[in-house]
DNA sequence: CCCCAGGCGTCCA
DNA sequence: TGGACGCATGGG
C-alpha cells in the first residue's frame, strides 16, 4: 500500500470512528494562541482551568495581558503547570503581537513569515508555532505532536527516531494541501491517542487503525 | 505511591 | 546533533 493511500485510509477510518472533532477548542484566534502555549506537555483539562481563570479575571485580551505583571499572570495560569515558565512565554507572545500591530495583523502575515515570527519567540517551538498557524490563522500546515509520533511508530509507519519535520513532510508530501483536512486529521490523531495510544496502553488493542498497511481485511 | 499529560530551552559531549 | 534534565499542576 502506498504511503498516500495509507494516510488516507487512516484518516477515513478515524473520521468514520470518531466523527468530526471541531478543533481548536477556543472562542477566538487569540484564545487559540494562548491555549497553544498553555498546553505544552500538559493535559487540556488543566489548560481549561487556566483559560477559565483568565476569562473570569477579564484578561482575555492583548491589552490586559500586556499590563499584567508576569508574577500575577503566573498565579492565574497556575493550574496549567509550569506556570512561571508559561507566564513568561505568554508575555513573549504578547510582545510579538504588539510589535506586529495586533492579532489580526500578525495572523495575516504570509504563512512562512508568520511561522518564522512565531518561532522567533522564546518558548514557542515547532508544534506550538504550527498549532497557531493552522488553528488560529487557518493555514494548511500539518501539526505533529507526541501522540502522532507514538501512533506512527506503533503502526510501523515511521522509525522511533523520526523527527518533527520528517513526520510533517510525511503528511504534507502525501496529502492534498487542505487546511480543513489538516485541522481534522491532527485533531483525530489526538483523539485516537487519548483513547487508544497513551504510554500506559502499550498494546494499542482495539485500535481502529490496527490493520492499516497490512494486506488482511478488518 | 507511582506514572503521565496536545513541549521547549539549556547544557554538555 | 542529540540525549538528559528541569519545569509543575492535576488526574488516574
SS (H, E, C) A28-76: CHHHHHHHHHHCCCCCHHHHHHHHHHHHHCCCCCHHHHHHCCHHHHHHH
Q: Where are the domains of chain A?
A: 3-22+143-206, 29-136
Residue A135 pLDDT exceeds 90 = yes
Maximum pairwise Cα distance, chain A: 60
Query: Residue A121, CA: closest nucleotide via C1'?
Result: B8
Give the list of residues 6+ apart from residue A198 with CB closer than 8 angstroms, or none.
none
Distance, Å, A148 CA → C3 C1': 21
Strand ranges inside A67-217, DSSP E? none
Distance, Å, A93 CA → B8 C1': 14
Whether the CB of A147 is less than 7 Å away from nucleic strand B comes out as yes
Whether the CB of A24 is less than 7 Å away from nucleic strand B comes out as yes
Neighbours of A7 (CB within 10 A): 21
Q: Quickly state the pLDDT bin for A212 (edges 50, 70, 90).
A: low
- State the Cα–Cα distance between residues A6 and A122, nearest whole angstrom: 36
> What SS3 state is found at A95?
helix
* A81-90 tens-digit pLDDT: 999 999 999 9
The CATH number of A29-136 is which of 1.10.3720.10, 1.10.340.30, 3.40.50.2000, 1.10.287.3510?
Answer: 1.10.340.30
Of A7-16, A55-64, A118-127, A150-159, the one with minimum mean pLDDT is: A150-159
Which CA-bearing residue is nearest the C1' of B8? A123
Query: Residue A42, CA: closest nucleotide via C1'?
Result: B5
Q: CATH number of the domain at A3-22+143-206, please?
A: 1.10.1670.10
Distance, Å, A39 CA → C2 C1': 25
Nearest to A90 by CA among A11, A155, A31, A130: A31
Amino acid at each position: 500500500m502506498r504511503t498516500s493511500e495509507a494516510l488516507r485510509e487512516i484518516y477515513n477510518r478515524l473520521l468514520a470512528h470518531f466523527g468530526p472533532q471541531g478543533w481548536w477548542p477556543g472562542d477566538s484566534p487569540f484564545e487559540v494562541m494562548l491555549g497553544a502555549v498553555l498546553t505544552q506537555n500538559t493535559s487540556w483539562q488543566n489548560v481549561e482551568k487556566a483559560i477559565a481563570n483568565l476569562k473570569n479575571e477579564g484578561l482575555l485580551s492583548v491589552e490586559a495581558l500586556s499590563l499584567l505583571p508576569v508574577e500575577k499572570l503566573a498565579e492565574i495560569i497556575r493550574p496549567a503547570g509550569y506556570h512561571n515558565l508559561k507566564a513568561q512565554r505568554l508575555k513573549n507572545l504578547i510582545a510579538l503581537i504588539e510589535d506586529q500591530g495586533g492579532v489580526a495583523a500578525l495572523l495575516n502575515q504570509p504563512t512562512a513569515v508568520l511561522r518564522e515570527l512565531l518561532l522567533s519567540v522564546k518558548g514557542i517551538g515547532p508544534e506550538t508555532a504550527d498549532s497557531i498557524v493552522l488553528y488560529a490563522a487557518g493555514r494548511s500546515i500539518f501539526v505533529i505532536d507526541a501522540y502522532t509520533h507514538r501512533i506512527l511508530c506503533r503502526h510501523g509507519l515511521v522509525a522511533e527516531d523520526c523527527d518533527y519535520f520528517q513526520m510533517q513532510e510525511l503528511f504534507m508530501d502525501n496529502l492534498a494541501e487542505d487546511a480543513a483536512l489538516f485541522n481534522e486529521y491532527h485533531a483525530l490523531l489526538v483523539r485516537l491517542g487519548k483513547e487508544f495510544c497513551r504510554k500506559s496502553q502499550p498494546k494499542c488493542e482495539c485500535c481502529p487503525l490496527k490493520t492499516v498497511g497490512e494486506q488482511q481485511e478488518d
